[in-house]
Structure 1
Amino acid sequence: MALRQQRPRTDRQQSAHPAVELRAVRRSYGRGDSTVHALRGIDLVLPHGSFTAVMGPSGSGKSTFLQCAAGLDRPTSGEVLLGGAEITRLNENRLTRLRRSRIGFVFQSFNLLPSLSVQQNVLLPQRLAGERQDRRRAKELLAQVGLAEHGRRRPGQLSGGQQQRVAIARALITSPEVVFADEPTGALDTRTAHEVLGLLRQAVDSMGATVVMVTHDPVAASHADRVLFLADGELADELVRPDPKAVADRMLTLTAAVGARYGYAGAAA
């Protein structure tokens, strides 16, 4: 299976601005003594055409980071920019339209609609965005993820790995500026996970996509160009051109440091 460039890159993808930028992003929950500081001032630039993995101990802020960067949650303070455009202060309607047209999502649980066919699931972002449903492009994407003959089937008739391939095709249908993947291989066996990660890697290399992936798996992270490590809501470390052993060693060191800080062995709760 190989993804290939489907159409010329848009002006927004060719922009000199980073794909994603976070400026002093903080996110807190609760008040007073019960306040939880999930993110503590994240400054980060992610260029177009990059593949970034985000890792960290439990409670490090990975999920909050992804939700704020993707416009699914609003920071308590700071700014999030997508292609140079500040999205933090958009009203909910504009933010929803932006997510539907300019951002792709891949989730651990696939999030396919069981009542729709595979092809209809792929086309769903265009339908929700009020765009013309490009069935030809949907068929091409399904062919590229190895599901050319499965467009009329329902998700329940597919294996988990096949459903995740559908989710990748769905994420790419609008040629989004960024694809956010939340533990995309968490529910898959090793071989199938490798195939799915290969598709995300090819989306970056062949289509110029930008992928941001939260994962707990050092092998999955090694498919990325760079691995960012979060701890206590802060960027604690990074690796460029990672390999699985280096990622695993860095995670062990970070987890031990967090455990020592809180006076117990293991990850932060």
Structure 2
Amino acid sequence: MAADWAVELHGVTRRYGRGGSAVHALRGIDLTLPPGTFTAVMGPSGSGKSTFLQCAAGLDRPTAGKVRLGGTEITGMKENKLTALRRTRLGFVFQAFNLLPSLTVEQNVVLPMRLAGRRPDRRRAAEVLAQVGLADKARRRPGQLSGGQQQRVAIARALVTHPDVVFADEPTGALDTTTAAEILALLRRAVDTQGATVVMVTHDPSAAAWADRVLFLADGEIVDHLDRAPADRIAARMAALATPAFTGAAA
């Protein structure tokens, strides 16, 4: 059954430009991720990590191939339907938090509901804020919070609609090591206790070590993966990606 997979990419390519100057950001990605899993995506600069995330999340359209999220094919979906799907069935966490400074913490958390035309569920907002340790901060504004607290708000916002998938783009990039570990523990807990599916792009082996599986991208292709690996092993594999001998390693 299609819904057995939270994320499916079949033959996904993404090309920018035409002819000899075309840039092939993704070269035929085939991937299925089951629900309730935490996947990290790593690779050298220019390997296609951001393009992969954008295509998988419906933020960019592939040049060829198909993308399904929670069993729903999004590849040819009209923009308004795709926008509605992103608001109700996907969650997003970015490096820069992307909170609206004029809104309270609670208002930021329920924003996906409001944008989807639904009545904001304050009880659900309180629930997710409690899960991220910010039950007492609902009436604060983002500017009154630390960076780590702001990212906790972003995670609460990402989880509030019970999304099929949470896409996280360098979610700990702007945080110190201790705070980063707290944020990653929250994402891990969302997977383990709530059945969330998390797909995270990161350059940090310590962050990737929280995932069930690490996928390695190079030149727009998935060239390797590691399951439940420690940070030092992930770092060694990343270093190997830079060596010519690695080209052609098994996926």
2:95 aligns with 108
Pick one of 23, 29, 35 that aligns with 1:42.
29
Distance 2:152 2:25 in 1: 31
Q: Which of residues 11, 14, 18 in structure 2 aligns to 1:24?
A: 11
Determine if contact 2:93/2:171 at 8 Å carries over to the other structure: yes
| 2:201 paired with 1:201 | no
Give the counterpart of 2:167 among 177, 180, 198: 180
The answer to whether the 8 Å contact 1:52/1:227 transfers is yes
Residues 256 and 150 (structure 1), Cα distance of their counterparts in 2 relative to 1, 3 Å cut: same
For residue 166 of structure 1, report the CA deviation from its aligned partner. Answer: 0.1
Conservation of the 8 A alpha-carbon contact between 1:231 and 1:258: no
**In the TM superposition, what is the alpha-carbon distance from 1:16 to its structure 2 partner?**
4.4
In structure 2, C-alpha distance between the alignment counterparts of 1:72 and 1:21, rounded to whole Å: 15
Assess, with a 3 A threshold, how the Cα gap between structure 1 residues 34 and 115 changes in structure 2: closer, same or farther. same
| SS of equivalent to 1:149 | helix
Shift of 1:17: 2.3
Letter in 1 for 2:51: T
| 8 Å Cα contact 2:39-2:211 kept in structure 1 | yes
The C-alpha deviation readout for 1:223-266, integer Å capped at 9, x for no partner, is 000000000000010001111011000000002339999xxxxx
CA pair 97-258 structure 1, distance change in 2 beyond 3 A: farther
Displacement after TM superposition at 1:84 (Å): 1.6
Match for residue 51 of structure 2?
64
Query: How far 1:186 moved relative to its partner?
Result: 0.1
Is the CA contact 2:240–2:246 (under 8 Å) kept in the aligned structure 1? no
State the 1:27 CA deviation. 0.2
Distance 2:44 2:192 in 1: 29
Task: Give me the whole-angstrom Cα distance separating, in 2, the residues matched to 1:235 and 1:150.
Answer: 41
The normalised TM-score by structure 2 is 0.96
CA contact 2:14–2:27 (8 Å) conserved in 1: yes
Structure 1: 5+ residue runs without aligned partners? Answer: 1-13, 262-269
| In structure 2, distance between residues paired with 1:99 and 1:258 | 40
Residue 226 of structure 1 pairs with residue 208 of structure 2? no
1:183 aligned partner, one-letter code:
E
Quote the Cα distance in structure 2 between the aligned partners of 1:48 and 1:257. 35
1:133 aligned to 89, 111, 120, which one? 120
1:156-197: CA deviation from partner (whole Å, max 9, x where unpaired)? 110000000000000000000000000000000000000000
Whole-Å separation in 1 of the counterparts to 2:117 and 2:244: 49
Equivalence map 1:91-170=2 (5 Å): 91-170=78-157
d(CA) in 1 for partners of 2:187 and 2:221?
26
Deviation at 1:144, TM superposition (A): 1.5
Instruction: State the distance in 1 between where 2:228 and 2:235 align.
Output: 14
Q: What letter corresponds to residue 194 of structure 1 in structure 2?
A: A
* SS of residue matched to 2:4: coil
Does the Cα contact within 8 Å between 1:20 and 1:45 map onto a contact in 2? yes
Residue by residue over 1:102-155, the C-alpha shift from the partner in whole angstroms, topping out at 9 and shown as x without a partner, is 000000000000010000000000000111211011012111211111111110
Aligned to 1:6: none
Say whether residues 1:239 and 2:226 are aligned partners: yes
| Alpha-carbon contact 1:20-1:47 (below 8 Å) kept | yes
Q: Distance in 2 between matches of 1:151 and 1:255?
A: 46
Sequence identity, in percent? 72
Aligned length: 248
Structure 2: distance between partners of 1:256 and 1:126? 47
- Unmatched segments (≥5 aa) in structure 2: none
Structure 2 Cα separation of the partners of residues 75 and 248 of structure 1: 30
Relative to structure 1, the CA distance from residue 74 to residue 258 in structure 2 (aligned partners, 3 Å threshold; closer, same or farther) is farther
Q: Does the Cα contact within 8 Å between 2:5 and 2:35 map onto a contact in 1? A: yes
